[in-house]
Amino acid sequence: MKENMKKVGFTLLAAFVGGAVAIGSYKLIENKYNDGLSFEEKQKVYFANNPGPVVSSADNPDFTQAAAAVTPAVVHIKTTYSSASRGGGQDAFEDMFEEFFGGRRRPQGPQMASGSGVIISDDGYIVTNNHVVDDASKIEVVLNDKRSFSAKVIGRDPNTDLALIKISGSDFPLVKFGNSDNVQVGEWVLAVGNPFNLTSTVTAGIVSAKGRSIGILGSDSPNSRPIEAFIQTDAAINRGNSGGALVNTKGELIGINAAIASQTGNYEGYGFAIPINLAKKVIDDFIKFGTVQRGFLGVSIQDVTAELAKEKELKSVRGIYVQAVVPGGAAGDAGIKEGDVITKVAGVNVNTSAELQEQIGRHAPGDKIGVTVVRGGSERVLNVTLSKEQQLAINRTASSQELYNKLGASFAPLTSAQKSKYRVNSGVIVSQVRRGGFFAEYGIPQGMVITSINDKAVNNADDIDAALGNTGRNNMVRISGIAPDGSRVTYNFQVN
């Protein structure tokens, strides 16, 4: 009897040890496997192992379930800045958008600001806006349960106004990804964030529009390529909501709140969120590559309007008109031509430039996508392999690149029509002038046509670099061209 009990005890012990080993091995394999997953794939694993209650308020304007599911994972972000890094000292939301939309400025205060963020993985990754954490010397994250953590920045992208930060720990609550492509104008949505330092505030509204471009994004980088395809909502969004969650009635994350249209700096009925399908690609790139890997089509475009359709004798006002094609770019190599009208990207209908930019922004260099164009009244699908920006730019030396960046401007090649208009055989047009650069300092305006630098003709970025490498012992730069008013001008200035 005693011997049988020993056998039973030994068997139970062996089973327990074996089970523990198996569980431990599974956890090691699971963690190792999860390291290679995208955030969306990690979420699928998480929610498969942690199925919560089915959340739905679709048939009833009662959003308690959706609010309860989301609120624990929306965090309050408090940032501190050195006096040199941020001049206004006001809320980051207001600091970025109030100047664009108008409104009065508040007096300077302590160099602190606040915003919101959304936990998207149980190990502490948080998506927020770039302008919430840009230049912050310290980032504090306060959870809904009042716990406070220091956060580090994993990646920032001014072109989409997205950032990924991380806090240390595990078993954090998270918001489930939705599909922003399925969002319909008129459907109910909730905005969750921390406006005016009021934690865990939920507001409701509807989707007012999709694919909105409001012209607020950009950066001081020469390679700035802003992508704006906002979801517009009338859910109340105020200062401090930046980086918060826009969710559907199932409690699924469909957007990251980013901006308001206001004359006062406060809510006046128009809020804008970054579609989550665009955000997923950006934040996954932060983890995989440390920066965004963005594919480029290589075209200059404008929306088709009734006026443009009449001028160009187009048969429809649907799509995006190709004004010019970058030589050697992805579009040109695939056979896209000036005068084509793009109607679909990767099978998705695109009717505005913002929608096209969003679709391209979801893809990486080397991705092969179908682009549907209308040419001469007939529709065709062209297979495009998206290029890297570097393939369209130039291989600069360190010194010439530094000088190129210090110019503080962006350039576009002149089209044949522009060369004919200005009666020149060569030239680039100044497409942007940024604060702090030589162009801004010496008053060289946007829209100026530059025909030569240091007496060398310039047609593209390669030519500009080559010319900048010839500044001589005195480091003098001589820029000649045609001002926006048509007058011939020359600028001479010395660079360090």
3-class SS at 7? helix
Task: Specify the amino acid at residue 345.
Answer: V
Catalytic residue from among 95, 134, 157, 161: 161
Task: Specify the amino acid at residue 247.
Answer: V
Closest CA to 294 of 199, 387, 230: 387
Structure tokens at 9: 């005890």
Catalytic residue from among 57, 76, 95, 131: 131
Structure tokens at 20: 């523990």
Integer-rounded Cα Rg, in Å, for the chain is 27
- Known catalytic membership, residue 242: yes
**In whole angstroms, what is the distance from residue 161 CA to residue 326 CA?**
26
Q: H or E stretch including 92?
A: helix 92-101
Distances (CA, A) of 184 to 103, 123, 231, 234, 466: 32, 32, 10, 14, 50
Contact status, residue 61 vs residue 83, Cβ threshold 8 Å: no
Pairing outcome for strands 162-166 and 125-128: antiparallel
- Known catalytic membership, residue 180: no
Contact status, residue 33 vs residue 23, Cβ threshold 8 Å: no
Catalytic residue from among 242, 387, 400, 410: 242
Task: Specify the amino acid at residue 440.
Answer: A
For 217-247, give one letter per residue: b (16+ CB within 10 A) or e: bbbeebeebbbbbbbbbbbbbbbbbbbbbbb
Closest CA to 67 of 212, 275, 241, 245: 245
DSSP conformational letter for 387: B
Task: Specify the amino acid at residue 464.
Answer: I
- Known catalytic membership, residue 76: no
Annotated active-site positions, please?
A: 131, 161, 242
